[in-house]
Amino acid sequence: MTEKELISKLKDLNSIKPRKEWVFSVKMQILGSGGNVVPDKATYKERLFDGFKSLYPLSYQRKLAYSFSVLMLTFVGVLGFAQYTVPGDVLFSVKKITEQGQASLTGESEIKASVENFKKRSQDLAEIVKNKKETNIPSAVQEVKDAAKSLTDALQKDPKLAKEIALEIKENKTFLDLSGEANIEADIKEASDILYKTIDAQMIADLEATTLTEEQQVLLEEIKDLYSQDKYSDALEKILLISVNSEAKVDVGSNVQSEPENTTQNEVKE
């Protein structure tokens, strides 16, 4: 064999080429993820080691599950604890978010949610005053004012609900009771006045449009006087008095009317 033939045979070794899929996969492993991936292990020993390494994600998943459980328990704990907070506390915002979430889940209307919010904030304020948490009072008063404002806004959008709101507020004595507290009365007077004024104006208009007894007419005049003197809270109490009395009379009236029908029915039966 000549040297030329030998070199020619040597050059024939250039036909040795790697598998295309291997070339591609190694490139992907090295460059595909920023070069942080270890390439294929060829030996059984290394593959066995890889097998054990593949079990690692299981322990990782377990750790993840524990972490998630702890997170959930903490979350539930925070939510539960937040229910006992009052305005001015750190977690009070969590309580408000929870309440808003509950309201949206139960499909409460805006006006209903506003009334509920007003009642709750009033109760919070009452609790703070009762427990003499003076540092919380400014926040609580602000919350009540905000609630009153949003309720007023909702009422202006739908004046027909004035009576319903008036009754709700009457049932929730807290706010009215609080108005007697000297140190907070000035703060909330403005907000409550606006709310009461809105309710009063709508209710007076309603009463004027309905047929009233002489006694109720007198009462309506007194209400108008109180309204003109900016005594909206007193005016509201009297409005509610008329409303409750008139409802009671209507109830009685409906019972009286139903009696003859029953009699007639009895006669027919006989």
Partner 1 sequence: MNNLNEQFSLIYDQYIEKIYRYVYIKVNSQEIAEDISSKVFLKTWEAYQKDQGKIDNPKAFLYQVARNMVVDHYREKGRTQIVSADHIGQIQDHKTNLYEKAALHSDIEVVKSAIQNIKKEYQDVLIWHYLEDMPADQIAAILDKPTSTVRVMIHRGLKALKGELSQES
Report the interface residues with partner 1, using CB under 8 A: 1, 3, 6-7, 9-19, 22-23, 26-27, 29-31, 34-35, 38-44
Q: How far is the CB of 15 from partner 1 (least distance, A)?
A: 7
Q: How far is the CB of 49 from partner 1 (least distance, A)?
A: 14
Note whether 119 and 172 are within 8 A (CB).
yes
Residue 6 vs 248, nearer CB to partner 1: 6
Q: What is the DSSP string of 165-220?
A: HHHHHHH-HHHHHHTT-HHHHHHHHHHHHHHHHHHHHHHHHHHHHS---HHHHHHH
The SS3 assignment for 28 reads: helix
**CA 204 to CA 211: how far, in whole Å?**
13
Tokens of 202: 């709508």
**Tokens 């019972």 label which residue?**
255
Residue 16 vs 182, nearer CB to partner 1: 16
**Tokens 């079990």 label which residue?**
55
Residue 39 vs 138, nearer CB to partner 1: 39
Q: How far is the CB of 22 from partner 1 (least distance, A)?
A: 6
As a whole number of angstroms, the longest Cα–Cα distance in the chain is: 139
Q: How far is the CB of 42 from partner 1 (least distance, A)?
A: 3
Helix 232-269 and helix 162-171: axis angle, to 10°?
A: 100
Q: How far is the CB of 64 from partner 1 (least distance, A)?
A: 29
**CA 233 to CA 165: how far, in whole Å?**
14
Q: Between the CA atoms of 184, 185, 189 and 190, what dihedral angle is there, to the nearest 10 degrees?
A: -40
Residue 16 vs 256, nearer CB to partner 1: 16
Residue 9 vs 63, nearer CB to partner 1: 9
Residue 38 vs 70, nearer CB to partner 1: 38
Q: How far is the CB of 60 from partner 1 (least distance, A)?
A: 24
